Every structure is written in C-alpha cells, then in structure tokens.
Copies of this chain bind each other. A is one copy, B any other.
Amino acid sequence: MKVSQLLGERYKERAADIESQNLMTRGGYMKQVGNGIYSLLPPATRIQRKIERILREEMDRIDGQEVLFPVAMPASLWQSSGRWDSIGSELLRFKDRSGADMCLGMTHEEAAVHMANNIAGTYQKYPFMIYQIQTKFRDEPRARGGLIRVREFTMKDAYSFHTSQEDLQKYYERAYRAYERIYARAGIPEVMAVKSDSGMMGGKVSHEFMLLTDIGEDTIVLCPECGYRANMEAAECTVKNEPEASLKPLQTVFTGAAKTIEDVCLLLGSTPQKSCKAVVYQRNVDDSFVLIFTRGDVEVNETKLTNYLKTAVHPAADLESAHLTAGNIGPVQLMANATVLFDKSLQGATNLICGANREAYHFTGFTPGRDLPEETEYIDLGKARAGDECPQCHRHSIRVSRGIEVGNIFQLGRRYTEAMGMTYDDENGNRVNPIMGCYGIGVGRLMASVCEAKHDQYGPIWPITIAPWEVEICALRADNEEVKAAANELYERLSAKAETLLDDRAVSAGFMFSDADLFGCPVRVVISPKTLARGVVELSTRDKSVKEDVALADAPRRVQELIEELKAQVMEKVPETL
C-alpha cells in the first residue's frame, strides 16, 4: 500500500485525554459515527483482522468450532433464559416491522444454547466448544475512551458444554491458557488474570484478564509477593482487629449534632477504626431495608452484598420508615424493620463507638463479641484496601491498581441449560442439563489496549504480530527520480515478503516521520538522496532498539531478518498450549 493512496489523514492536534484514543484518532485509525459507535479506517481494520486471526487460531487450537449467531434476536430467546427481564437498558430492545419484540445481542449464551439444543442429546457428543467473531451492541450509558468502552464492538465469544464440573474445570484451564497465548501473541504478555465476580452471567468461578494501566475502569487487588490477584468486586477484605486486654463497659454518651463517623470521632477523641458504622440499603425488588454494620474504616462492597442477598440493592432513601435514626444507628438496642448484617471487620473488635439508636446519643465501649448475641454471624462484605493483609499468603500487604478488562472467562454451570431446557442422556440414560463455560474477548478493546500499553508520545508502537504493516519505507524527496526509482524497487521486493507501506508523497521529512510514528510500523526504512549518495538506506525499529545503515541491495534481507527477530521476541513469551 502506498500512503498517497491510503484513505485517511493524520494530524497533530491532541484529540482526546486517553492516549490510545488520542493516537488512534490522530493517526487516522477510526472515525466516530455516533455516541460509542465508530467506523474503522484501513489501518485499524488491518489490525482487527490480524487480531481476529490470532483469536481464531487459538480457539481452533483448543478444539473450538467456529459458528455465527445473529446480531438481532427475537425476544423469545432472551425470555427463555429470563434475561429479557433481568437485564437493564444496556440490552437494546426494539420492535420489528411486524411489531415483534427483538434485541441486539450483547452476549450470546441464549443463542449458543439454542444452537446446541437438540443436536447434542447424548453424553458421547461432549465436551464441545463453539465460538463466533461477530458484532455486538451494548447500550452503555457512558461510552468513553475511544475503542475501550464503546456501544458497538466486534467480539470473539466462545461457549463450551460439559457433562461434569471436572470436565468444565479441565477445559476452563485450557481456555485460560489460550487467553494467555492470545495476549502474548498480541504483544501484551503482561495481561494478568484476576478472580472476578460473575455478575449477570450467573456462574461461580470466573476470571477477568486485566491490563494494568491508570486509565483502566476496573480496580484490581494484588499481592506483589505471592501473586494473589482479584477484581475489587471479588477480593476478600482481610481487616484484622488487635485484641485489647481491658474491655470498657458499654456507656451512653451525648454526641449532640455529631452524626458522621468523622464528627463523632473528633468529639470523642477516637478513630474510624475504633468505631462501628451503619450503612443502609434497600432491595430493588420491594424496597425492604438491609442494614449493614462494618468497622468505621471499612467500606461496603456492594457486589458482595448483592451476591449474599441474591438480589440487587440501592442506597436507602428514607430511613424513618425503617425506624432508623440517621447518624445514630447502632447494633445494640436496635428496633429496625430491616435485615441486619455484620461485616467480618467487626469480628474481634473491642471498645468501639457506635450509634445508640436515639437522637444525639452514641455508645462507647461496644465490643461485638460481648454485646451481640453469641450466634451472630460475621460475613465478608467489606471492600479490600491497599495495605491490607494478602488474603492468600497472609504475609504481605495487598496493592490496589487500575486496569482495563481485555477478556473474561466464566464457569456458568447449568444456569442457561436448565432455564432453556437443554438436556442430554447420560451413561445411565438419565436426562441431564449440561454444564457451560463462556469465554469473551473484545477485538477493538484489545487493539486499543495494546496501543495503551505500547506507545510513545509520537504514536503507537504496534507489536509485529498485529501491526497494520510490518515495514514502512519512507521515501524522502519522492519527487527526486533516483529516490523514486530506488523506493519503488525496494517496495516491490519487500512487498513479496512482508506487509509493506510506502510513503511516496512529496512531503517534508518531518511531516513524513511524524505520520510514520502514527502508523507505528515495527520496521522503518528511510531512503533519501543523502542515503543513496552513500549507497545505503537507514533501517530502524519503531521501538528504537535498532538503528543502522544497510547497503541498498542488502535491505530486503535485513528487513526480513529484523521482522523475524521481532516475531521471535513476541513468540518467546507465548506459553505452550494446554
């Protein structure tokens, strides 16, 4: 491809805060069509096709069978799993010309079960995995970050079917490894799997694959020593209480208008850590109240709460109808019309401040182990915090980082096959629901994430495996006949062996190099009247690891060599298939 013919323009003005969005907009990779909806120009489409190829190869390697599900689906399919009603407005619903309810697929569990239903009726057919690479639509309220969080996107989604949890577990590990290979092949082996909450997918075990970066939307809890990693939503809170020898008596104190933890602590000369905090929610289904007591310095992890309650909640609006005294709620002498839960952070705590359940009064000397009924259950509902003890090795402190989720894998269990009535005959002739796993990777988000991880201030530094072109020839003074002839000849020779871009425009060197930085091709060849006078071309890599002069005649061989070296560098970090 010659740059003079390539559709797209590049420009200097900063286009967005997030670097991948900025560089890919400035570099002519994409153009916004609507809120969270983009067209991909030729360079991005080339990257996309290469990522799709990696995905296809790795899915085939773990015995995946490629299929194609529809983008638009009848409501009946989503009603059969119950998700038509349980998913919010991110599922885009509409009516077709006949008035029938339909939706745009945001995931395809229903479609996968629909396809496999009735054609996998005996245990001998299992396990199997089907996958597709297809457009999805998720009506995100807040699209952001260019291709990082869009509404329409291309996704590889895979669904496996099993006759036992053990078999799923075994396959899940193969898929996990395939994912590690995919990220490594795409040039970001640093992507890490973290345990995650399964959310609306309805399963139990799941992992998110995270690229750590400050612009990420997800929060990850890590132990740098033992390797513990979990999504904040799934991370255990390991707050510990130092036992105190002398227990003070429970005592009512006047605290007047002091309501917040901070104010009460200030007034009584205490700390949040030595307080017991009340947090009140209401169940979405019936607005019934849920009252959680945590240590004053621990926040409630709403995902854990939702999972524990098995229903969605929202912060309480009106405390009076639950007979609660805002700012003075405490676990002793409590007369509340609410489900009352105690967070683990209160276990073993002593001599705390807590509300006294009447206006202007608190207790001091509250010791849960003494003042609460013996059968009180302490549940892990707290948010993990940087510096807390690692829940895995119990020896080091955890760190909290931001990350972009570039993929996820779920053990779904029988959630969908049960709901949709998919069964097979087992060895004993019993009709049983198969167990499912599902495995997703967004193609555009992966592309943007690679750009996020691999760039400098001038442009993307595409890994050789997904770069739009492997090598770019910059013909400086392309209007010079000698340069033109040499560049064209080199272009012909290189094109036969590598994906080659030739900048054949009569533009200044600065202009051409700044465009080349935005194209981000791994290998660059510069030909100019000056280099030709010396009989050489200048060879360099976009990552600046190589910069050398090479005899013109030797350039194709050396370029090929460099490309192979760069490929080997990527492949070195790709683990074996399981």
Measured CB to CB, the residues of A under 8 A from B are 1, 4-9, 28, 31, 33-35, 37-42, 44-46, 48-49, 63, 65-74, 76-77, 89-90, 92, 94-98, 100, 102, 104, 111, 114-116, 118-120, 124-125, 128, 130, 132, 134-135, 137, 139, 141, 151-152, 154
Contacts and interface: CB of A to CB of B under 8 A. Distances in A.
Number of copies: 2
B39 A66 contact: no
Contacts of A65: 1, 6-7, 42
A124 B68 CA distance: 41
Contacts of A100: 34-35
A70 B37 contact: yes
Given A5-B63, A92-B96, A97-B90, A40 B28 contact: no
A334 B63 CA distance: 77
Given A77-B33, A134-B135, A42 B67 contact: yes
Contact of A7 (B76, B130, B152): B130
Nearest to A119: B9
Question: Which of A7, A76, A98 neighbours the largest number of chain B CB atoms within 10 Å of its CB?
Answer: A7
A296 to B, nearest CB: 38
Given A92-B94, A134-B135, A139-B97, A104 B34 contact: no
A71 B76 CA distance: 22
A122 to B, nearest CB: 11
A294 B351 CA distance: 103
Given A33-B74, A45-B67, A67-B45, A120 B7 contact: yes
6 closest A-B pairs by CB = A94-B94, A34-B74, A40-B68, A89-B97, A42-B65, A9-B119
A376 B133 CA distance: 61
Among A39, A73, A102, A135, the most chain B Cβ lie within 10 Å of the Cβ of: A39
Nearest to A134: B135
23 contacts: A7-B65, A7-B128, A28-B119, A31-B114, A33-B73, A33-B74, A34-B72, A34-B76, A37-B72, A39-B67, A40-B67, A42-B66, A45-B66, A45-B67, A46-B66, A72-B137, A72-B151, A89-B97, A92-B97, A94-B95, A96-B151, A97-B141, A134-B135
A42 to B, nearest CB: 4
Contacts of A66: 42, 45-46, 49
Contacts of A40: 67-68
Contacts of A141: 97
Nearest to A140: B97
A430 B149 CA distance: 41
B152 A119 contact: no
Contacts of A5: 63, 125, 128
Contact of A39 (B9, B70, B74, B151): B70
Contacts of A37: 70, 72-74
A96 B7 contact: no
A46 B45 CA distance: 21
Given A31-B115, A97-B90, A104 B7 contact: no
A132 B33 CA distance: 16
A76 to B, nearest CB: 8
A92 B77 CA distance: 20
Given A9-B119, A139-B97, A68 B39 contact: yes
Nearest to A1: B65
B115 A39 contact: yes
Nearest to A130: B7
A510 to B, nearest CB: 20
A72 B139 CA distance: 11
A7 B89 contact: no
A6 B120 CA distance: 10
Contacts of A9: 118-119
B137 A71 contact: yes
A102 B33 CA distance: 11
Contacts of A8: 119
Contacts of A92: 72, 94, 96-97
Nearest to A9: B119
Contacts of A48: 68
Contacts of A42: 65-67, 130
Nearest to A128: B7
Contacts of A63: 5
A28 B111 CA distance: 16
Nearest to A115: B39
